[in-house]
Amino acid sequence: MHAARGSCCRIRRMDSSRGHRLPSLCAPPVFLFILAASNLVTFFVFSSTFSFSSSGCSASSYFTSPLTAGAAAGDGATVTAQVERASPAADLPPESLAFTAPQSFPFGRNPNSQSDVLIAPVGHPCELFPAELSRFMTYPVNGSCPDDEFEAQRLLLKGCEPLPRRRCRPAAHADFVEPAALPESLWLTPPDSSVVWTAYTCKNYACLIERKNQKDFDDCKDCFDLEGREKSRWVVPSDNPLDFSIDEVLRLKPPGTVRIGLDIGGGSGTFAVRMKERNVTVVTTSMNLNGPFNSFIAARGVIPLYLSISQRLPIFDNTLDVVHSMHVISNWIPDTLFHFIFFDIYRVLRPGGIFWLDHFFFVEEQMGKYVSMIDSVGFRRLKWVVGRKLDRGPELKEMYISAVLEKPLKNSW
């Protein structure tokens, strides 16, 4: 009896803290009946909402808050609140649910995934933007996709990466023509008909080339002028010790051992083009920030990879000979992500592979922090130059590091 009264008192005190009073539940038959009934209701509700079988799974369990899983370890009230506020599945178009719902393997359980269903990968922040996601996934199946490159990239940059697949045909220029043949294409401005220009301020390549003379800032504003600075980048000797040439970097490794690589944030693909001229295959990651960078890279005859700096590199461990990045990896990146990025680069490089960090930007007071983070990854310095960036005045104390960092050939793990 004492224990029962104590339990009743605790229930009343907990609820009174929320400003409500419960009637006495001390009568054992009433208490047991309510407890049993509530447990049965909870069981049926959750078993129907989150059921998982070879025939599929409720789509709502695949559009839940990222906090739901973490909340499961907490108190019941927190879990309930998270489950109720999650599940925007009802607001999403059928194509979103069709893509993300588990798909049964036609021959049953797959030994590689150890599952009888295949779940399509979608960036978990996608659900945080249901209106944008709904627009992206609303289209006629087997028909034409909306001309929505700008909105799709904005959704991706918010963290919805990878974007869901779609079952529609992407917008393309009505007058698209065959590309120029190699090697002519490497240094030829492609025709305007190779691009759908809706997403960009400029509506042709002449405009893109001319914007190098404009004061307004655009990402890589002179990258499309193949007769300008791009023509000499990485190949013409420079008096600036921060400007390494491709040939001097390649000489740091035995001849012929640098064969495949990645250029992170590679603008219009000139680094990959120069490496191709030296029989090195380089894939270039790029976004289309107010310019058709991916289309331009592809038209030149090298491979673009539409990937943000936040995404894990879709490359297996210990495989690449070289990774290069110029300007895009700099102090605008949050410190923790910066550390993850460097370890991801280390991961994809083979033992003995090199990371060419090209003009890493920061301010003088940040130098100790960044040097410490870079050194913590495990690279060996083959070449390391620190210099001041003076074009905006020495009082800003802006700095660059250019470095060639090697993943140890032995004991890299």
**Predicted model pTM:** 0.77
Long-range contacts of 185-193 (CB under 8 A, 24+ apart): 185/299, 185/300, 185/301, 186/273, 186/276, 186/277, 186/300, 186/301, 186/302, 187/226, 187/231, 187/273, 187/300, 188/226, 188/300, 189/224, 189/226, 190/295, 190/296, 190/299, 190/300
Q: Are 319 and 350 spatial neighbours (Cβ–Cβ below 8 Å)?
A: yes
d(CA 305, CA 197): 19
Q: Reduced to 3 DSSP states, what percent helix, strand and coil does the chain have, rounded to the nearest 5?
A: 40, 15, 45
Strand partners, 120: none
- Largest pairwise CA distance in the chain: 92
Q: How many CB atoms lie within 10 A of CB 70?
A: 12
Q: Which fold has domain 189-406?
A: Rossmann fold (3.40.50)
Amino acid at 17: S
State the pLDDT at residue 58: 38
Which tokens is 37 given? 């009934």
Contact between 370 and 360 (Cβ < 8 Å): yes
Residue-level pLDDT, tens digit, the chain, 413 residues: 344 433 333 333 333 333 334 334 344 444 444 444 444 444 443 333 333 333 333 333 334 333 333 333 333 333 223 333 344 555 778 888 888 888 888 888 888 888 888 888 788 789 899 999 999 999 999 999 999 999 999 999 999 999 999 999 999 999 999 999 999 999 999 999 999 999 999 999 999 999 999 887 667 889 999 999 999 999 999 999 999 999 999 999 999 999 999 999 999 999 999 999 999 999 999 999 999 999 999 999 999 999 999 999 999 999 999 999 999 999 999 999 999 999 999 999 999 999 999 999 999 999 999 999 999 999 999 999 999 999 999 999 999 999 999 999 999 99
pLDDT of residue 10: 36
Task: Give domain limits for the chain.
Answer: 1-49, 55-171, 189-406
Residue 50: what pLDDT? 33
Q: What is the pLDDT of residue 217?
A: 67
Structure tokens at 258: 């640098």
Q: Can you tell me the distance from the alpha carbon of 92 to that of 73, in angstroms, rounded to the nearest whole number?
A: 28
pLDDT of 296: 98
In this structure, what token pair is assigned to residue 73?
A: 């370890």
At residue 182, the pLDDT reads 97
**Which residues have a Cβ under 8 Å from the Cβ of 314 and sit 6 or more positions away?**
305, 307
Tokens found for residue 306: 């539409």
Residue 174's pLDDT is 96
